[in-house]
Structure 1
Amino acid sequence: MGKKIRVKQLLESFYTIYGKKVAAHPWKFILLSILINGVLGLGLYFRLNLNNDVQYLYIPENTKSLVYRTRIDATFRDESGNNFWPHTMSHPLRYGEVIIFPKNGDNIFEDDIFENISTVVDTILNITLPGDGLSYSDVCAIRNEKCVIEGIELTNLLFKKSVQSGSIKYTSCTTLRCPNQYLTFLGDITLENGTLLSARYLKLRFNLRQNSSNELQRAKRWQDTFVKTLKKIKSDSLGIAFSSADSTDEEISNEAIIDTPFFGLCFTVLITYSNFVTGSGDCVSKRVHLSRAGFLVVPLSVLGSWGLLSWCGVLFTNVIGCTPYILLGLEINYVLIMLAQPVNYETTSNYEDRFITIFAPSSTGITMALFTHILTFGVGIWSNIPVMRHFCLYLALTLGFVFINHMTFFAACLALHEKRVSLNRHCCTCMPVESPAKLKEKGRSRCFICCCSGKEPSSSEELEGHCQTVPKTFMSRFALYLPLKTISMLLYLTYLAVSIWGATNLKYDMLDSKMISPHSYSYLYNKISFEHFDKREFVMFFIDGYVNHSDLVTHGKVSDIINILKTSKSIDDGFAVNWLNAYELYTSSSNQHNLIALNQFFEQYKEYKNDVHYSKSENDNITASRIYVRTVNLKTSEQVISLYKEMKQFNKIDILPGFAYSSVSNRIESATELQSNMLRPLITAIIALALISFIVIPQPIICLVVIWTAASIMLGTFGFLWLWGVSLTTISILYVILTTAYAIEVAVHCCFAFYYVEAIDNQSRVYSSLTRANSPIFTMIFGSILGLPFLLLVRSYVFNTIFKVAILTLSFSAAHAIFFLPMILSICGLYIKSPELPKTVESVTVLTTFTCNDRKHPIISSLFHNNESDNKSGIVNLGFQEITAL
């Protein structure tokens, strides 16, 4: 136990020595901190590397699906500029898509409605790229030397007449050559005996080529121009909903930028509240400037850390921009904890000693908490998901800079404050002022006395305002009275049960369209597309290696693969794309089985041409091929996850060399990887808390309370997210990880203060720990919550997620600080004694009578004001100022 206690002593000794240097040269530390962070911050101006590419940031690296896609891309070329078939593309498609519907009516094929459709189509086809004047025909995906516009057949006047005459039969398609394949681009259709009578929605997809980096950039530019053009189209009869391949991701990012002012209001409220909390005292003792100095620590740290990473070329993404709010809350907590450190103003007249008394003990707990934070987020740096890696890297480094700047910039400001107070100088003018009593004697007005007088405080309590004393009194009730302890326990057990229930039901949601607010241009498109059109995906089986495709055994194995895939509930059992079966039918009629016949087959059936790769250098053997099945209508994340699991099990079956792959695999593996990447920092936080607790607090019970408190707050956040209707997404997981810092703060500071507080009995001990740590934490959390309601006004999914995650974490952290922790620590205190730490006695006042030489002698405090020996009492004064015998 002694060795563990010495860890705290060692830290306090270090901060005592360091604090003396800060107190001796405060301006040097302030200027050095500003200079270093300012120089590093220039990197944000010169080298900021902004990247919001979802396909890079949110897709895990080196996953199985990514390896599969790489192998497919290495074998088969992108044919979007020559022979484009959407089902053969392993990469996400590039396109602009529009849904047209009548504003008044149910049938798109009515004459007055249908006439306006061609106007919309012509407008889109005439879109030109700014700068080079390229039109859609210059960037479109090509098939049979024509642009591939899916659903364009439905805009033909002849087709409209066929619908009106009742000659269009709506049948399900089993192959790519189905004559009415394009009917899937009609929504909310009306049928009578299989005959198409009407449809309310018409969808058109304008596909773009991406077979080179240059073409890909053109495709992205055309998408942007497409969106801007469609926003300007107005029609009295037609409703138009539109989107592009990147619309969802861009809208999520753009909405966050639009709602930034509301997020700024949260900062304003938190800063104003912190100033109000520290605004008690007179013109000399007022500590409001210290809260402002604490606020400046965060922008300084952001400037230095983000600038340093920018100099190093590390990518920056928008989701990182919301982290300073949490960091500001943590820094204000550190400020309040330092200011809550008790000081004996009567015996500590030297401002340097007073500064050390405040700085050294409180810095130990802050170091403990911040080290845990940095270790927690530092683990995420090794994530294989780029957005997680960059998020944790920026956060861990910024927390490191917060710690450095707090111990330099803020510590120096605190030293200057104590020096000013000891010199009785005004907090604003820094001019010497007289006490209120002296000014009153001189006949000064009350207003003058209020604004221009002050004195050095006589106790720490004089500096506490109502924001600090009221929570402290309120919390002590629940900690010290048995009926309220019982209520606290019942509330906590209920909270725990609900949290576990909610956490077990929490799911990962991959439907990105839910993240778009109703104010977005793509919201209507997503809504109509989800409700009235099918969402089907192709599943490819990639046959890799030299397989004898002319062998009947191979044909049978390919058929077996298709049949096994079709046994899945997620697969449409009536549809398949099998080039080998089609080629077998072709050769049986021509009696040819050679390369010439194969080339003739592909020229006639171009839908299969992209599915075979053969090497001309080795007897024209086929080195790889692929076949396809199609999914049913996938409407929910559960269906997509089920498909992925079935594909994973299928890939374990050894029928032919190869694997099943679908574009949804990347999304599912992203979800799986992200959840494991989420657990890693959370588990690391618990482990780090355990290690540090057992090192610094040599009491297993208290250590377990520390660990359980943090885990309990995290559990509650996950559980109540589900009750609030929030599913796990990439963004929500990132902010859950971020807000775990509050759980760590509550656990560390409350239990640390409880164990090391000096008290006569258990009740005094609980009350003192409430004063030392719980009250500042509650004050900080309350201030953070106070600003969050502004986020109710936002439409951004990012800020809305921050609001929900933060409000839950902060509320549960406050509840633990108010109800659970004081209650459980008051019980633990009955069995745990505070450590006996060696210390220098500075003030002792005698309140009783000592027996010496069989006689009673009253000992008065003035006896020890001089270094003398008193023969009657038998006590030698060793330089103590006062002695208190309790």
Structure 2
Amino acid sequence: QGTYFTSLSRQEEFEGNTKSVIPLFSVTYFLTITFSIISCLRLSCIRNNVWLACCGVVSAGLAVLSSFGLMLFCGVPFVVTVANAPFLILGVGVDDMFIMIASWEQSSRKKEKPDVKSRLAETYGEAALSVTITTLTDVLSFFIGTWTAFPSVRSFCLYTGTAFVFCYIYIMTFFGAIIVLNHKREQGNRHWLTCMPVGVDKDQAEKSCLYNACCIGNCSRQSSQPESEHPMNIFFKKYYGPFFTNKWIKLLVVLLYGAYLGGSIYGCTRIREGIDLRNLASDDSYVIPYYDDDDKYFSAYGPRVMVVITESVEYWNETVRLGIENCTQDLEGISYVDKNLSESWLRAYTKLAKSGWINISNKTLFINNLPKLFKIVPSFEWDINKTQDEIEASRFFIQTVNVTSAVDEKNLLNQLRETAKQCSIPLMVYHPAFIYYDQYLVIVQNTIQNVVIAAGAMLVVSLLLIPNLLCCLWVTFAIASVIVGVAGFMTFWNVNLDSISMINLVICIGFSVDFSAHISYVFVTSGESSANQRAIEALYLLGYPIFQGAVSTILGVVVLAAAKTYIFRTFFKIMLLVILFGVLHGLVFIPVFLTFF
């Protein structure tokens, strides 16, 4: 049984990869809508916020459509990595929705009862800063990612960054209007599903709980009772916050953080570069058996490199031929090249001339006798690009060996290019895989550059929007800690550093700010007297929205774990690490560490 690979195989696989995740969109939207509805459910047919949940998801979907439409209209290439964007945007958009709903409900619990305009203004006053900070940091991290040397990363960052902008616009306009309409429905004592008026039954005590929840109104305009607190808010206030402000639990958290940091740093020292080319194809692709057979039977051989003489030279001049031969021998002298497996039309032609069978001493004879060479070795005809009286370019091949790792591939590429550069003849070395080897030359530099610039930008944004030095320092600490954690634990999950994982490391910055900035800001602006009480208040106000946002983001990308392609599975793995470590810092490490200062 034979296996095969063509020059179009990789392109076909990329196109197939994008199409393969389209069915997962519907699953993602179903999961996210379900979670949002469950989070917004109330045991009241009036105060049920199901439509708020659905419209929040619709808002994120509109952001994706608007972004993709604008980018495609502007001619930005749609590459396979861009297919990750809708999953990410959906999760983040729902996160912003939860923050808006939480702020709206907080305003309703105050003793004074402002009108709807005042309540909405107060909601924006509370939520807009948080949503603006998170959006601005996310957008900055993506647009900074466009400075990379990798076009695929640039396209992904442009599409996703623009989608974040639209997501912000829709949350601040479309969703704000939905909140007001939902409030008017509640004030009119209308059913959440039918929007029909619901009467207040005086005999509620005699009815079942299910009947009361589905059919009885309890939100009259004259009601002076504030909306009840969500059980999760009560949990964070009465149980979670006091538990983590206990001195022994604080000590345990410090030890846990030490273990986390130690493991992360160890993982960073073991991080691997490079991408296995088989991972660019789907698991059931016809090229996978080809790669398996290649590894099984031909693993000792690396790429067969084309050496191109890029300009017209005087091949009939013996001095020029000697120069080409010297260049060839220099290339064959590289440790990764087997000189016995080279293939050169010029060597064969020169050997034929030395046998006395043909004469190549001048231009006319050299060109006119080439058909005799082609008759002996027909394939050599494809190695020469000639006109009637000129050879414009030609090529020969060298065989590489023992190229087994990304380090070998990087060293091979550097040595080949450096040797070709020093040659007196204009040469270029080429193989289709070199486009991937080029990544290894700049991936570490690009990653560090983007992460440092993005982290610096996040610090500046934090200082501008949160004018508190202590808060900004904690945000910066969280950024660094989450990045180190994600980079380190990538190693333990067999994820290499490549252009795909580089995207996610830049994303880390925006998400680590999302989780830590809210808690830090509420802590430093709290009116409570003790540090422990300030931490409890911060967790009470933002613990549940942060938890909701984390779960919604994970639900947005979890279906990618079932994808048949490495690119999407890697995106899921790193996003899961980002969210888990971000939540760990936002709800455990940062609240505890803040109480020490």
Mark the runs of 5 or more structure 1 residues left unpaired by the alignment: 1-99, 101-239, 829-886
Q: 2:166 aligns with which of 387, 401, 409?
A: 401
Read off the aligned partner of 2:454 and give its amino acid letter: A
* Aligned counterpart, 1:710: 479
Compared CA separation, residues 473 and 685, structure 1 to 2 (3 A): farther
Identity %: 25
* 1:482 and 2:247 aligned: yes
Compared CA separation, residues 824 and 435, structure 1 to 2 (3 A): farther
* 1:643 and 2:405 aligned: no
Q: 2:592 aligns with which of 801, 823, 847?
A: 823
Maintained 8 Å contact 1:536/1:633 = yes
Compared CA separation, residues 597 and 552, structure 1 to 2 (3 A): closer
Maintained 8 Å contact 2:515/2:586 = yes
Q: 2:90 aligns with which of 319, 328, 331?
A: 328
* Aligned counterpart, 1:809: 578
Q: 1:656 Cα shift?
A: 3.8
Secondary structure at the residue paired with 2:541?
A: helix
CA separation in 2, counterparts of 1:790 and 1:395?
19
Maintained 8 Å contact 1:544/1:625 = yes
Maintained 8 Å contact 1:333/1:780 = yes
* Aligned counterpart, 1:454: 218
* Aligned counterpart, 1:501: 266
Q: 2:538 aligns with which of 758, 766, 769?
A: 769
Report matched runs for 1:831-870 at 5 Å: none
Mark the runs of 5 or more structure 2 residues left unpaired by the alignment: none
Read off the aligned partner of 1:330 and give its amino acid letter: V
After the TM superposition, which of the residue ranges 695-704 and 293-302 deviates more from structure 2? 695-704
TM-score when scaled to structure 1?
0.60
Q: 1:822 Cα shift?
A: 1.0
Q: 1:723 Cα shift?
A: 0.9
Q: 1:815 Cα shift?
A: 1.2
* Aligned counterpart, 1:669: 438
Q: 1:700 aligns with which of 465, 469, 473?
A: 469
Q: Deviations over 1:814-844 (max 9, x none)?
A: 211222111122223xxxxxxxxxxxxxxxx
* Aligned counterpart, 1:254: 16
CA separation in 2, counterparts of 1:787 and 1:395?
14
Q: 2:524 aligns with which of 755, 766, 772?
A: 755
Maintained 8 Å contact 2:43/2:213 = no
* 1:629 and 2:394 aligned: no
* 1:464 and 2:233 aligned: no
CA separation in 2, counterparts of 1:581 and 1:524?
36
Read off the aligned partner of 1:366 and give its amino acid letter: V
CA separation in 2, counterparts of 1:817 and 1:279?
25
CA separation in 2, counterparts of 1:811 and 1:464?
23
Secondary structure at the residue paired with 1:574?
A: strand
Read off the aligned partner of 2:334 and give its amino acid letter: S
Work out which structure has the larger RCO, using CA pairs closer than 8 Å and 6 or more positions apart in sequence: 2
CA separation in 1, counterparts of 2:238 and 2:324?
76
* Aligned counterpart, 1:721: 490
* Aligned counterpart, 1:13: none
Read off the aligned partner of 1:328 and give its amino acid letter: L
Read off the aligned partner of 1:450 and give its amino acid letter: A
Compared CA separation, residues 565 and 765, structure 1 to 2 (3 A): same
Maintained 8 Å contact 1:746/1:774 = no
Report matched runs for 1:287-306 at 5 Å: 287-306=49-68
CA separation in 1, counterparts of 2:247 and 2:448?
37
Q: 2:275 aligns with which of 507, 510, 522?
A: 510
Report matched runs for 1:184-223 at 5 Å: none
Report matched runs for 1:268-279 at 5 Å: 268-279=30-41
Compared CA separation, residues 627 and 779, structure 1 to 2 (3 A): same
CA separation in 2, counterparts of 1:447 and 1:387?
53
Maintained 8 Å contact 2:63/2:170 = yes
* Aligned counterpart, 1:351: 116
Maintained 8 Å contact 2:305/2:397 = yes
Q: 1:408 Cα shift?
A: 0.7
Q: 1:515 Cα shift?
A: 4.5
**Higher-Rg member (1/2):** 1
CA separation in 2, counterparts of 1:460 and 1:737?
43
Compared CA separation, residues 589 and 706, structure 1 to 2 (3 A): same
CA separation in 1, counterparts of 2:240 and 2:350?
81
Q: 1:641 Cα shift?
A: 2.0
Compared CA separation, residues 367 and 544, structure 1 to 2 (3 A): same
Compared CA separation, residues 434 and 564, structure 1 to 2 (3 A): same
Q: 1:440 Cα shift?
A: 4.0
Read off the aligned partner of 1:797 and give its amino acid letter: Y
* Aligned counterpart, 1:42: none
Report matched runs for 1:736-751 at 5 Å: 736-738=505-507, 740-751=509-520
Report matched runs for 1:413-432 at 5 Å: 413-432=178-197
* Aligned counterpart, 1:539: 305
Q: 1:411 Cα shift?
A: 0.6
Read off the aligned partner of 1:602 and give its amino acid letter: L
Q: Deviations over 1:333-354 (max 9, x none)?
A: 2122223333243212423222
Maintained 8 Å contact 1:365/1:752 = no
Q: 1:413 Cα shift?
A: 1.2
Read off the aligned partner of 2:169 and give its amino acid letter: I
Secondary structure at the residue paired with 2:96?
A: helix
Larger strand share, 1 or 2: 1
Secondary structure at the residue paired with 1:775?
A: helix
* 1:567 and 2:336 aligned: no
* 1:390 and 2:152 aligned: no
Q: 1:654 Cα shift?
A: 5.1
After the TM superposition, which of the residue ranges 242-251 and 520-529 deviates more from structure 2? 242-251
Compared CA separation, residues 472 and 503, structure 1 to 2 (3 A): farther
* 1:686 and 2:426 aligned: no
Larger helix share, 1 or 2: 2
Report matched runs for 1:519-558 at 5 Å: 519-533=284-298, 535-543=301-309, 549=315, 553-558=319-324
CA separation in 1, counterparts of 2:21 and 2:390?
59
